[in-house]
Amino acid sequence: MNVKKLLFALSVLFLTIGLVACSDSKSSEGKETNEETNEETNEETNEETNEEGNEEEGTTLHVAALESAYGADMWEKIADSYETTNENVKIELTIKKNLEEVIRPNMQAGEYPDVVLLATGRPEALTETLMKENGLENITDIFDQKVSGEDSTVNEKILDGFTDTLATNPYADGETYLAPMFYSPTGLFYNAGLFEEKGWDVPKTWDEMWELGDKASEEGIALFTYPTTGYFDTFIGSMLYALGGPDFFNSAMTYEDGIWESDKSTEVFETIEKLASYTEKNTVANANPNDFTKNQQLVLDNKALFMPNGNWVVDEMKEAPRADNFEWGMTSIPAFEDGGDRYAFTFFEQIWVPSAAENKVDAKDFITYMYSDEASSIFLEAGAVQPIEGITDQLDGQKQIFYGIYDDEDVLPAMGTFASTEPVAGVNMGDTLYGTIGSVISGKITIEEWRASVEEASDKLREAMN
């Protein structure tokens, strides 16, 4: 009995000690952090007062940006140079590769960043979620404002067409909620060296494409491959543009009734069905997040001629082995008839202000600064290209080939994405329109079934348009 009591007493004692120890360390940690922040702010205020004399206390602007292939350094430089011109603003950066995972919990707790650079079309779809919940600030007015530190307005600097797409005006009402940032043209990538060696011409229409496909298959080369079905977003977008121009594209993106059952859309479905028979046989098996580079490797190894991609693929496959005379080439999606318009989709990242942000005025000023000569040259140094007048002249070598794709007389830029709707449970247009292609290529479902399911999803989403 005594031993039991002793044990019990001991365990209670240990438990208490443990609890006390834990709580103690926590509160002291808390104190430390408080002290640290106090020190920091003190230092900052001291510095500021030293520098500027009697300046009033400045604002802190929280900037969150996705760390992409361009690296995090350029953001540090941007923050520094913005702070030097705007001395009462302190920039606090959050630059992360998994930005969604970092800022989502904070945002749910009510701590919103003031400026966010995060594109649509990411798997976690944070930007889309805010669009659908009307959580973005209307920033239409910044385009008439002067660029921070310069005399010209934002509109004068941004390339035409970039601010009237569904990717910047998600509700299709002429109001802009997202500003265009780094852009990259997408299209069909191929080995220019191989085409030269064989004496093939890069096809401009689908008919020429099929001819080339037959020629290539005699040599054991497949015409087509794709990294994952997600890459069809720009591919199908360009096809829609080529079929009926911006009007047709926009009516498809705003879920117009019957649009997917029209004759024009049928051509899209039929072309992809035909393309399926020209697709490299291992493509579907490798079209997943783990193996998609194997599909990209097919082009480097001269096993497939074309793949839809963006210019980031050059960096992505930088280390990969390749055929001897390999040289990246890029062309637009072919036209449907001889001499018809061809389009190459432009993908761009967006910068936006959450409507729950604290310092909206400063945030908007910061966005205008993004288009200044100073900022754009910092970005350009890191390889990030913004849609600013005259920027293509500053590019060199390979980059100029990709960004100069629109210099070709009948290649036009295509932009935009599906209009934002209220969230609809169980309906995902991307999965229905692009994901299903895996089944179409493996012959699992017919294009009629595919078309019907796309139209059905379109019907459901139309009802949910904001």
Partner 1 sequence: MSLYRWGGFSNTKEFVGFDNFITLWNDVDFIQSFQNSILLIVVVAIFTLLIAVFFAAVLTKETIPGGNFFRVIFYVPNILSIVVIAGVFSAIYDPSSGLLNSIFGTLSLENFQQMWLGDQDIIIYSVAGALVWQAIGYYMVMYMSSMASIPPSFYEAASLEGASKWKQFTNITLPLIWNTIRTTLTFYIISTINLSFLLVKAMTGGGPDGSTEVFLSYMYDQAYGNSTYGYGMAIGVVVFIFSFALAAIVNHITKRDVLEY
**Where do contacts with partner 1 occur on this chain (CB under 8 A)?**
104, 107-108, 110, 123-126, 128-130, 132-135, 228-229, 281-291, 294, 356, 423-428, 431, 435-439, 442, 444
* Integer Cα distance of 179 and 366 in angstroms: 12
User: Which tokens hold the place of 125?
Assistant: 């779809």
Tokens representing 372 are 């200044």
Give 227 or 329: the residue with its C-beta nearer to partner 1: 227
String of DSSP letters for 146-199: BPTTSSSBHHHHBPTTTTSSTTTSTTSSS---SEEEEEEEEEEEEEHHHHHHHT
Sign, CA dihedral 242-246-247-253, equals positive
Residue 329: closest CA among 124, 190, 224, 159: 190
Length of the chain: 466
Q: Which is nearer to partner 1, 311 or 350 (CB)?
A: 350
Nearest partner of 434 among 455, 454, 413, 420, judged by Cα: 454
CA separation (Å) from 69 to 52, 96, 112, 311, 318? Answer: 37, 12, 25, 11, 12
Q: Is residue 347 within 8 Å of 217, Cβ to Cβ?
A: no
Cβ distance to partner 1 smaller for residue 234 or 279: 279
Least distance between partner 1 and beta carbon 410 (Å): 34
Which is closer to partner 1, CB of 266 or CB of 355?
A: 355
Question: Please, which residue, 135 or 193, has the CB nearer to partner 1?
Answer: 135
Taking the complex as a whole, the smallest distance from the CB of residue 282 to partner 1 amounts, in Å, to: 4
Closer residue to partner 1, CB minimum distance, 101 or 175? 101
Measuring CA to CA, which residue among 366, 412, 420, 88 is closest to residue 254? 420
Q: Which two tokens stand for residue 261?
A: 């059952």
Query: Least CB distance from residue 109 to partner 1, whole Å?
Result: 9
DSSP 405: G
Shortest distance (Å) from residue 128 CB to partner 1: 6
Q: Within a 10 A sphere around the Cβ of 336, how many other Cβ atoms?
A: 18
CB of 139 vs partner 1, minimal distance in Å: 19
Least distance CB 215 / partner 1 (angstroms): 23
- Which pair of tokens denotes residue 223? 């015409």
What does the radius of gyration of the chain's CA atoms come to, in whole angstroms? 27
- 133 or 160: CB nearest partner 1: 133
User: What are the structure tokens assigned to 187, written together?
Assistant: 């299209």
Cβ–Cβ under 8 Å, residues 204 and 343: no
Q: Nearer to partner 1 by C-beta: 123 or 339?
A: 123
Q: Which is nearer to partner 1, 350 or 368 (CB)?
A: 350
Closest approach of Cβ 350 to partner 1, in Å?
Answer: 16
Q: Are 333 and 344 in contact (CB under 8 A)?
A: yes
What is the smallest separation between the CB atom of 360 and partner 1, expressed in angstroms? 16
Q: How far apart are alpha carbons 296 and 279 in whole angstroms? A: 13
- Work out how close the CB of 135 gets to partner 1 at its nearest, in angstroms, rounded to a whole number: 6
Q: Is the Cβ of residue 129 or residue 145 nearer to partner 1 in the bound state? A: 129
Q: How far is the CB of 439 from partner 1 (least distance, A)?
A: 4
Contact 252, 265 (CB under 8 A): yes
